[in-house]
Structure formats: C-alpha cells, structure tokens
Amino acid sequence: MPGYRDFVPRQGFQPTLALSPDAGTVAYSSNAAGRFDLWTVPVAGGAPRRLTRLPDGAVRRIAWAPHGKSLVFTADRDGDEQYRLYRVDLDGGGGPAGPPAEIGAGPHCQRVLPAAPFDAEGRRLVYAANDRDATVQDVLVRDLAEDAERRFEPPPGVVFRPVGISPDGRWLLTGGFRSHTQVAAYLADLRDPSAAPVCVTADHGDGLFEPGPWAADSSGFYLRTDLWGEFVAGAFYRLAAGSLEPVAQHDWDVEFIEVAGDTLVWSVNQDGCSTLFARHGGRPLPLPAVPPGVVSALAVAPEAEPLVVLLDTATRPAEIAVLDPAGGVRYLTDARPRAFTASSASTVEPVEPVEPVEPVEPVEPVEPEPVVYPSSAGRYVHALYYRPHTPGPHPVLLSIHGGPEAQERPEYMRSGLYQYLLARGIAVFAPNVAGSTGYGARHQKLIHRNWGGFDLDDLDHAVCHLRSAPGADAARIAVMGGSYGGFAALSCLARLPYRWAAGVSMCGPANLVALARSCPPTWKHFVAAVLGDPDTDAGYLTQRSPITYADTITAPLFVLQGARDPRVPRAESDRLVERLRRRGVDVRYEVFEDEGHGFTRRENELRAYEEIAEFLCGHLLA
C-alpha cells in the first residue's frame, strides 16, 4: 500500500498566472523547490526556469511589464501576510538579470497587486497599501520614471482594491469592497491632479459590481454583478452612457472575465466545475472542453492563442495547461503523484532533478459523486461524496471548506490527503453548507453575522444523511476543517449530539471575539459585516464560539496552529488545548513556528497532512 507521500503532488501553485506580452512565456508561483518562488515556462513547452530564491518568502501575485523585460510580484514572509512588492529584471535569455528589487519600500504593511497593474507604456504602476493607516487600504499610482506616487483614499467603510489603468491612460479603475457581496466600481481621472475616485455604479444599486478588465478601446470595462438575479453575471459598463449591458448570463455564477484585444473569455462555475466560454469580435469562439475541475487562474492572448489556465481536478493535481483549439488540453507542468499509474509517463520536463525511487503499487484515483441532501426550512445542500473503490461500509470524514464564503469543488484536495484516505478505505463527504459560494446569493448570505447558525444546522443534517446512507459506517464519522472550516469542525464536536470518532482543526478559530479583534486591520469592515463587531456583538460572538462549549468536547482532537498566524491568535488555541487536556481529552497539538494562517513551506505542509492522515486512520480504522 503506498504511503501518504506517494499521493503528494510534485509541486503546488499559487492561483496566479501572467502571460508575457509576446504570449510566449507564462510566469507562475510554484513550491517545486520548497517555497513559493517565481518561475517561468515557455508556452510551447520546455524546461521551467526559476527566477527567485526567497529564503523566507512566498510569491503571491505576479504581473508582466508591457515591454516584457521585467516582472513585478508580491511576497510575504513566513505567512505573515505583510506583502511586499518587488521587480525582477530579465536578461536576454529570460532569466533574472539580478536579485529582486523592492518597490515602495517603507512601513511594514500589506501591498496588493492587481492582475494588470501597469499603464500601456509601463511607466505607471498601480497597487494598494495600508501604509498610511493600518485600517485603511489606499490605492497608489507610482511613476516608476520619477519615483513619485499619487495616492487615492477610499470613503469610510470601503476597502479599495485596484483593477488597472485604462489603455488610453486616462482612467484609474478600482473596486470598493464593503463585503464579498457589496462591491462598487470607482473611477478616478488621472488627467486631473485633484480628482478623487467617484463611484460609478451607485445608481444601479448596492449589490455586487466587481470591476474587471478594460475594453481595448477604453470605452468601458467588464464586471461581475448580481444585478439581474440570484447568480452573478458578466456585464459591460459603458463610460459614455454610464450604462450596464449584460454580456454573459447563466444559471450559475460567472467567476472570471479576461480580455485580450477583441477576445473575451469567461469562466462559469457550474455546480462546482469550471466551464470556459469565449467570444472574438462579438462572435462565439470555440474552445476545447476541459476535464471536470476548477480553473483557478487564466491568462489569454488575442483570439485565445494561447489560452493558459491553472487547472485542478479531483484526480489530477493543479497544473498549468494550454488550451489548443485543435489539440485540446496540453499540460506545461506535471505534478502527478507517484501513486497514480500515468505519473510515470510524463512528457513534461521536470523542474528539478528527479532522484530514482522504488516503484509503488498503482492506485486508481476516485472521482467525487455530486449529492444533494435536505436541510431545515426547505433548503437543500450540495455536497461531494468520495467513496472508496473497496466494498463498504466505510468510515467517513466530514470535510468542511474554509472561507466561509468559498466552495468545495472537484479539486485534488489537501495535497493528496483525500485520495490517500480513500485508498485506505475512508470515504470523504464535503458539503457546501450555508455561506458557501456558487449556489446563489441567498445561500451565501445566510452566514453573514450568523456563524454557527444555519451552517451548523446544515452540518447536522449532513450527519443525518450519512447515518442513513448505504455504505457509510454511522459509528465511525470524523470531522475536519481549516480556517473557517476549523471553526465549523470544532463547533460540530462541541455543539452537535453525536459520538464523533475524531476531529481535526487547522488554524481554526475557537474564539470568535478574538478572531474579530485579530483579523488584519483592513478587514475591519468586512469582519463587522460578515462575522460581527467585537465591541458591540461580543455576546453573540461568545455564544457561537466553540471555546464556550469546550467542556462538551470528548472526541480525540488534532489541533494545528501557525505561531505567526495574523488572524487566529496562538493563545486561543493554547487555551482550548489546555482546557481539553485538563479534562483528560485526547488532544494532539502541533504548532508550526515559521508559519502563519496556512502553509508556505512545502515540508511543513506535507508533514502536517501526513500527521493528519496518521491521526485519522488511527481513529477511523482501529
């Protein structure tokens, strides 16, 4: 039987891609060498090139300068989420001409890079920073030639996230966020030195108007909006008329919109799977079908030649691939694990020398089955159910996604943890409970200021569904989650009346008051809108906190915590573990001294999931 590490992808990726101006090279962030560094690979295929060696950093966002001679990127250190902005110049061969140079060096703060941060000439660079006030995210336009900056401040209660400068150089487009479902578009006239950003979507309502790429002729910009119904549509805002025109409407959410010249590409989230559509010159442009999975990033050239995606499926880890109209999906990377039969037949050049290893018995990966189960008040919950190939009944892991405004989708989850557990005979049930995205605005907003309410009710009904489902062993059910999912897992253990076999919380908040106080300062308004205000809502937040019910937890528990976590204070996890251990509860506690909220070091991530696998197998297969 292969071990957990035989299921681990050969590399992982951050959800960011950048296509060079000549459309010949893709830049990306990979942890193939241990940390998330900046890499490039030719679109035609070939050996990847590593451009950075950050000893304590992780590359998060990437953009290519219009002249193609340099790249800019953001990176934080040991997961502290204090992103710094860098530029790396390239030599004639496409490699780095020197070490990365920091841009806008100054106070310790978050710097946020949009997907298209440069003007057409590459002289001005747009980014956001909370350097002036830790609780406010301004937008800065930096003149790289004169080393000068122009600052735009948001209205009270709004977080600015820049989108980019119009191709004619006149307009700065920025998103103004009050929550994930309250987003407006702002424009500032860069020709007027005293102009302030103006909200241009206010007349259309107070919902979602998330701005996206500019039209090539600067006549307007594309955006995502819920103006016309329950699901998010693609629209075009025309500057001259101030009008909104639908361009992509489906019975599911539009999740990405990208533009290159006269080519428009968008992705639709159809019950968790990404489906791509394209239009060129106003007419449909055929694209090859992608395997059922998730496109988490895409980069496009005119006429979609090429169209590069970061594609993740339940049975193949995230990969960079080119969609060829004639040839279908052509992979530029190969992250497939040793446990799968096809991994030995790669046609992609490895990123690092591969040492010979002993062959392992091949395993057939498991595709998830879509499930819909009833919950309270006539609601229904969508879930993915992974069943082992072996005969049941099987123990089950109830796996809860983070967010909470996120979605469980058919991806290669937890660096192979799902597939390893399935190979060991453990089923995985992953629901999209109240608060999840992808199933309409009403379902998503049920979580707002109601953590541990409808969502916990949906998890209660998930257990009821499993207890009556054929092939599931109702006496052996464990629960696991990370971030918000960790909170939900702790809530299940503390507040639902079941005899749980085990629980796992990865960077999960046990105290919602502490979470609300500790989140990044620029999140203050988000936190108040989605979670609650720690000053005025302390009673409700305490009532919904797992720590309040710690004395009811009896199941074996594994808690994983980053010592540098800027959102979930280590002290709160220490407190929870101490209370449980005083009562004799079996608690395993692992603190990662050089990590924050999640993992940036590959070895830490693999050690964590290997230990989780050992813990779950020990309690579910005993």
Split at pLDDT 50, 70, 90, the class of 254 is very high
pLDDT of residue 208 exceeding 80: yes
- Model pLDDT, residue 38: 95
- Model pLDDT, residue 408: 96
CA dist 382 → 217, 257, 412, 434, 481 (Å): 42, 25, 18, 10, 17
On average, the pLDDT of the chain sits at 91
pTM: 0.87
- Model pLDDT, residue 341: 62
The topology (CATH level 3) of 4-334 is Methylamine Dehydrogenase; Chain H (2.130.10)
Q: What is the mean pLDDT of residues 514-519?
A: 88
Q: What is the mean pLDDT of residues 286-311?
A: 92
pLDDT of residue 8 exceeding 80: yes
* Least trusted range by pLDDT, from 270-279, 319-328, 402-411, 501-510: 319-328
| Residue among 274, 275, 264, 332 nearest 304 (CA) | 264
| 3-state secondary structure at position 406 | coil
pLDDT in tens, 77-96: 877 778 899 999 998 777 88
Q: What is the DSSP string of 540-593?
A: HHHHT-GGGGGGG--S-EEEEEETT-SSS-HHHHHHHHHHHHHTT--EEEEEET
pLDDT of residue 179 exceeding 90: no
- Model pLDDT, residue 480: 98
Q: What is the mean pLDDT of residues 522-529?
A: 82
More confident residue, 118 or 134: 118
CATH architecture label of 369-620: 3-Layer(aba) Sandwich (3.40)
- Model pLDDT, residue 361: 81
Split at pLDDT 50, 70, 90, the class of 104 is confident
CA dist 518 → 70, 82, 393, 511, 559 (Å): 36, 14, 43, 11, 19
* Least trusted range by pLDDT, from 158-172, 223-237, 319-333: 319-333
CA dist 429 → 242, 372, 486 (Å): 46, 11, 16
pLDDT of residue 224 exceeding 70: yes
pLDDT in tens, 339-384: 986 444 555 665 665 555 566 788 899 999 999 999 998 999 999 9
Task: Indicate the residue type of 417.
Answer: L
Q: What is the mean pLDDT of residues 103-110?
A: 76
* Least trusted range by pLDDT, from 239-253, 335-349, 606-620: 335-349
- Model pLDDT, residue 601: 85
CA dist 147 → 73, 84, 102, 137 (Å): 18, 17, 13, 21
Q: What is the mean pLDDT of residues 398-418?
A: 94
Q: Put the strands of the sheet holding 37-42 in their side by side order.
A: 13-19, 25-30, 37-42, 49-50
Please say whether the beta carbons of 522 and 137 come within 8 A. yes
pLDDT of residue 407 exceeding 90: yes
pLDDT of residue 164 exceeding 90: yes
Q: Put the strands of the sheet holding 159-165 in their side by side order.
A: 159-165, 171-177, 183-189, 198-199
- Model pLDDT, residue 353: 54
Domain range list for the chain:
4-334, 369-620
- Model pLDDT, residue 466: 96
Q: What is the DSSP string of 499-553?
A: --SEEEEES--S-HHHHHHHS-GGGHHHHHHHT--TTTSHHHHHHT-GGGGGGG-
| Residue among 498, 474, 494 nearest 486 (CA) | 494
pLDDT in tens, 420-463: 999 999 999 999 999 999 999 899 999 999 999 999 999 999 99
Give the pair of three-digit tokens for residue 83. 């992103």
Percentage of the chain beyond pLDDT 90 is: 75
Q: What is the DSSP string of 191-211?
A: TSTT---EESSGGG-SSBEEE
